[in-house]
């Protein structure tokens, strides 16, 4: 069995279970880990779990950076994702919920995959956005996230209800990634010492291939369109440029909405920057974007605490912009 779990601190845990034929056998939501635990204990020891959350904090293995090797590698491939800090204490609540889930699964005999041969009875870390790109060979573009996700799973996962929301779709994508892992059609990004992110073998040149050459085969299940190459990183729209800029803000620095709008080519677009960030709130370090007075953003809720943990000084409740304002990309 292949179990995908989408993690949210506010919406609970969404769980999708697939059988060997990639058919949904169970789809549910658990409000918290206490509710989820008795459900997880019912699965056989041969189950492969896939969790949509970081499996460990950063160990600072990337020179001059705070994030993990996996996140560094994927950023270079123009995959946007949320950076994992070096301490659980400053991690957002959804990451801490994920750490708790990994701990529970490990105690139940499903340790986190740390490299080597794939097998059953393991837990893998996944990132559905990466899996969607790997499965389809395309990026989302202007398509809504939920429609893009449904299209990626169509023909690959059977029995998903048409009313499935984004959390349920991401859980299904995680379960499908567990299936590809168990069937030898996978890639992994990162360093085993701080967590590997597993994804389906890409249709195009996206990243490292799986250990065995025989795994470098096109998926043998139905696709919805001909594969298209994933282009080299190119921020062609305002939203793309904003996302690219925010991903480059270093720890210990902040930028204002106005700064980002100006650098992205739309000086009067500060409000539009906020809308972009709302669409990528789990993928970008939004806590490093402040308003013109230095006030931290509304999300994440612990933005101020995270900035302080990165060494940012405050004047009362506002960031000391004179000392910590980023001057933009070089």
Span 180-195, average pLDDT? 91
| 271 half-sphere exposure, CB direction, 13 A CA radius | 1
pLDDT at 230: 31
User: In angstroms, rounded to a whole number, what is the distance separating the alpha carbons of residues 137 and 225?
Assistant: 10
Span 86-114, average pLDDT? 93
Span 170-198, average pLDDT? 93
Span 50-75, average pLDDT? 90
pLDDT (tens digit per residue) in 290-308: 999 999 998 888 889 989 9
pLDDT at 302: 85
- Cβ distance 53 to 105 under 8 Å? no
> Is the per-residue pLDDT at 180 higher than 70?
yes
User: In angstroms, rounded to a whole number, what is the distance separating the alpha carbons of residues 149 and 172?
Assistant: 10
Nearest to 197 by CA among 22, 55, 319: 55
Beta-sheet pairing, 289-290 with 255-256: parallel
Domain with CATH 3.30.420.10 in the chain: 2-215
Q: Which two tokens stand for residue 235?
A: 């921020």
Nearest to 207 by CA among 83, 69, 113: 69
pLDDT at 320: 94
What region does 12 belong to: left with phi over 0, alpha with psi -120 to 50, or beta? left
pLDDT (tens digit per residue) in 211-237: 333 333 233 333 333 332 333 334 457
pLDDT at 314: 94
Q: Would you say the C-alpha torsion 274, 277, 281, 286 has a positive or negative sign? A: negative
pLDDT at 201: 86
Establish whether the linkage from the previous residue to 198 is cis, with ω within 30° of 0: no
Report the CATH architecture of 238-324. Orthogonal Bundle (1.10)
pLDDT at 231: 35
CA angle 80, 85, 89 (to 5 degrees): 135
pLDDT bucket at 105, cuts 50 / 70 / 90 = very high
Report the CATH architecture of 2-215. 2-Layer Sandwich (3.30)
pLDDT (tens digit per residue) in 64-92: 888 899 999 998 888 888 889 888 888 88
pLDDT bucket at 119, cuts 50 / 70 / 90 = confident
Cβ burial of 199 (10 Å; 0-12, 13-18, 19+) is: buried
> Is the per-residue pLDDT at 239 higher than 60?
yes
Between residues 205 and 213, the one the model is more confident about: 205
Domain with CATH 1.10.10.10 in the chain: 238-324
User: If you average pLDDT over every residue of the chain, what do you get?
Assistant: 85
Q: Which residue has the tokens 């990337």?
A: 62
């Amino acid at each position: 069995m292949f179990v995908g779990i989408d993690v949210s601190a506010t919406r609970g845990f969404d769980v999708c279970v697939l059988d060997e034929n990639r058919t949904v056998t169970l789809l549910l939501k658990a409000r918290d880990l206490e509710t989820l635990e008795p459900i997880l204990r019912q699965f056989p020891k041969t189950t492969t779990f896939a969790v949509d959350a970081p499996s460990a904090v950063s160990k600072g293995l990337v020179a001059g950076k705070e994030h993990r090797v996996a996140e560094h590698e994927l950023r270079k491939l123009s995959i946007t994702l949320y950076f994992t800090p070096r301490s659980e204490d400053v991690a957002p609540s959804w990451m801490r919920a994920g750490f708790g889930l990994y701990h529970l699964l490990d105690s139940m005999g499903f340790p986190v995959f740390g490299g080597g041969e794939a097998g059953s009875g393991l837990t893998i870390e996944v990132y559905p956005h990466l899996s969607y790109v790997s499965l389809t060979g395309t990026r989302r573009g202007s398509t809504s996230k939920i429609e893009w996700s449904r299209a990626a799973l169509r023909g690959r996962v059977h029995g998903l209800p048409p009313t499935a929301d984004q959390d349920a779709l991401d859980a299904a994508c995680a379960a499908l990634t567990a299936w590809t892992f168990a069937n030898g059609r996978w890639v992994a990004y990162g360093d085993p010492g701080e967590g590997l992110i597993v994804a389906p073998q890409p249709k195009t040149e996206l990243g490292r291939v799986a250990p065995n050459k025989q795994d470098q085969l096109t998926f043998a299940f139905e696709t919805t369109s001909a594969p298209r190459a994933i282009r080299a990183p190119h921020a062609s729209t305002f939203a793309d440029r904003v996302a690219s800029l925010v991903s480059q803000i270093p720890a210990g620095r902040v930028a204002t909405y106005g700064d980002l709008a100006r650098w992205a080519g739309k000086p009067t677009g500060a409000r539009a920057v906020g809308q972009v960030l709302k669409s990528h709130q789990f993928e970008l370090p939004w806590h490093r974007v402040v308003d013109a007075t230095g006030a931290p953003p509304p999300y994440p809720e612990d933005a101020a605490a995270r900035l302080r943990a990165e060494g940012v000084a405050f004047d009362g409740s506002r960031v000391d912009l004179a000392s910590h304002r980023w001057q933009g990309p070089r």
